[in-house]
Amino acid sequence: MGLVTDKPLTALRTATPAVDRVAPATPRAILPSKPRRNRKLALAALFIAALALAGFVSWSAFLGPVTVSIAPIQSDVREQVFGLGTIGARIQSNVGFKVVGVLGALKADQGDRVRAGQILAQLDARDVEAQLAVARAGIGQGRANVEKAKADVVSASANLVNAKAISARRAALVENGFATMEDTQTTETAARVAAANLTSAQSGVTVAEAALESAQAQEAFWEATLANYTLYAPYDAWVVSRNLELGAAANPGQSVFTLVAAHTVWALGYVDERLAGRLSVGQPAEIILRSNPSISIAGHVERIEIQSDPVNEERLVHVAFDRIPENIHLAEQAEVVITTMVLPRAVSVQPTAVTDLRGDHGVGGHGTVWTVEGGRIERRQVTFGPALLDGRLPILDGLPANAAVVAAPVAGLRVGRGAHVVETVTP
């Protein structure tokens, strides 16, 4: 059986308002107005915070202390000049023979160290040696001839004495009537002949001695000629190159070896003329070889050329080694750094820290720097020395005793503003 009810089925449905009628408002419909007020309050707070931040930033930028770094005071600041050049030598020679010949011996080679008087090379000298032997034989013969001539003089002298004695005795016999006049004349003639023989013998000695001297001169000539067939080192040297080999024909004056005096090796550096006026002989220097750039070799200025290069506007400076390295190579590229002055104490800054910079950086100038004095920013006109090798400018004059120089200017620098130093810039 089904459920029976007297009410129609439509009574169970929820009543639906008419389309043209508006439902009455409920309390929940007015809740969205509270978030709108909160949003306005948040925006107002944010605006106030922004104003405060802007005020703080403005105060920090224009009124608060500015953070700066300062350049340190350094000791023994070296003013230096740079030059680029090569390794050379003050004494360099091309040595060869004075006579023509064929190389028969070579006793030195490239890279050798030789002593003064050491034999370097020899020519084939067999013909000269033969001529020298003939001259020496002539000397022996000449000496024998001199001895024979001297013996002839002794013999002639004895004959003359004997002839004079006989003549004197005959003259006495004639006077006493025991001999004829003819006998006296004969003995006198014999004495005169003996005197003439003595004179001839003495002349023979002179001729023999002259012949001996001629032979000795020939010997000296051929000895000197033979000496020219041997090449000697003229000084303690380093053999740079050997230009001829065994069996080659050497002409007079032709270079067989190229030598340099080992103690005269130096660096030849070219320095800008703008900087060369600060150079003088004896200044300390450093030599840096291209083959070993990590090592600086001590040296000093030995000579400054009197004539500059008009094209490159550079001056040639010779820098000698205080101690020449063992492994050195001529014509190798080298750098020279010459110390022209040492400042006992100085502050140096980069050109970017200077305003109104005037003058040549190579020789000094003037400009304005920011300083910190008594915790406040100041500006000072200063005088600079020549620029250092790293580009920094040493301040020579214009700084108060208590002033610290701002090394890296920042935005907001103003005279009188407070300063906060956070670091010291070390070059």
278-303 pLDDT, tens digit each? 999 999 999 999 999 999 999 999 99
The residues spanned by each domain of the chain are: 66-75+343-424, 82-88+265-342, 97-124+230-255, 126-227
Pairwise CA distance, residues 187 & 26, whole Å: 197
Average pLDDT of the chain to the nearest whole number: 83
Tell me: pLDDT of 26 over 70: no
For 348-384, how does the pLDDT look when each residue is reduced to its tens digit (9 = 90+)? 999 999 998 887 766 778 999 999 999 999 999 999 9
Secondary structure (DSSP) of 256-316: SEEEEEGGGEEEEEEEEHHHHTT--TT-EEEEEETT-TT--EEEEEEEE-SS-BTTTTEEE
Q: Write phi, then psi, for 55 (nearest 5 degrees).
A: -65, -40
C-alpha triplet 148, 153, 155: angle, nearest 5°? 95
Q: Does residue 415 contact residue 378 with C-beta atoms inside 8 Å?
A: yes
For 142-158, how does the pLDDT look when each residue is reduced to its tens digit (9 = 90+)? 888 888 878 877 777 77
Domain 66-75+343-424, CATH: 2.40.420.20
Indicate the helix (H) or strand (E) that contains 113: strand 113-114
Three-state SS for 152? helix
CA 199 → CA 139, 153, 159, distances in Å? 25, 8, 12
Higher confidence at residue 49 or residue 178? 49
Q: Which CATH architecture has domain 82-88+265-342?
A: Beta Barrel (2.40)
pTM of the full structure: 0.64
Which residues have a Cβ under 8 Å from the Cβ of 155 and sit 6 or more positions away?
Answer: 201
Tell me: pLDDT of 321 over 90: yes
Residues 238, 241, 243, 246: what is their CA dihedral angle, to the nearest 10 degrees?
Answer: 70
283-292: b or e for each residue (b if 16 or more CB lie within 10 Å)?
Answer: bbbbbbbeee
Higher confidence at residue 407 or residue 48? 407
Confidence (pLDDT) at 346? 92
Confidence (pLDDT) at 362? 64
Q: Which CATH architecture has domain 97-124+230-255?
A: Beta Barrel (2.40)
